[in-house]
Amino acid sequence: MTDWTPYAARASEWFQTLRDNICAEFEAIEREAGSSAAFEYTPWKRAAVEGGEGETGGGTRGLIKGKVFEKAGVNISTVSGGLAKDFAETINGASAEQNAFSATGISLVAHMANPHVPAVHMNTRFLTTTKAWFGGGADLNPPLPYDEDTAEFHAELKAACDAHGADYHDRFKAWADEYFYIPHRKVHRGVGGIFYDHLECADEAAWEANFAFTKAVGEAFLAVFPRIVRRRMGMDFTPADKAQQLEWRGRYAEFNLVYDRGTLFGLKTGGNIDAILMSLPPEATWS
């Protein structure tokens, strides 16, 4: 069996580099808007979980609240140990008897001050149980959609996919459309993107290929989202525009609290609650 430890370390290092680059770009946008807002970083350690093992690993919660980014979190984590036995049955390659796991990744959610600027989510991760795999994706969540922004976002992700698998974009776009859906509302969370999981690493060559793709997804996000932010952040908006944004934020919150697998995974594995729930908007409304 392959020892994935050095590979996980490489992935973790990349996720930290991506975090640094994204945060620097977000802070640069704040400066362009005349704001001095900067990320505050809070380290945390993994807590013990019932039926699992004690604290092993942790991460850093990065949070900015500014003029453009009303609330944006960029978190990294590297944790390992034992999954609670009942939860282990739901995880790829794990079971009540074989419940050891490790996970490293980056998770990002940005809620924007101007309703013309779309909210966004992105994460990429590497996990091991008895199997090893990558997962991740990104999706755009505009309260006031613009076809130009949607097309540009999808085009950037498609280019990343096409360079690594002829069928990747069709598969992962369809998966995002299926996953980022709110059944009780019968609406999608936003205008989609890509979502992939269980991109398994049967050997070192597969790991390298999947890692290259995962890096391409992160780089595509870093290339496209700041362009969209800069295009929209100075636009005027009305009280009706703001009301639409707050309503869609409510739907975003509903998805993350009811359906999101990442939220459940974090809570079930002793993650930092504030880091996990940073995805929730600072303000939302329900009719």
Active-site residue set = 121
**Helices 5-32 + 204-232 axis angle, to 10:** 10
Cα(111)–Cα(89) distance, integer angstroms: 34
For residue 119 the two structure tokens come to: 């909210």
Cα(92)–Cα(251) distance, integer angstroms: 28
Cα(287)–Cα(28) distance, integer angstroms: 36
Cα(278)–Cα(109) distance, integer angstroms: 7
CB atoms near residue 91 (< 10 Å)? 19
With CA atoms as reference, report the closest residue to 191 among 154, 229, 162.
Answer: 154
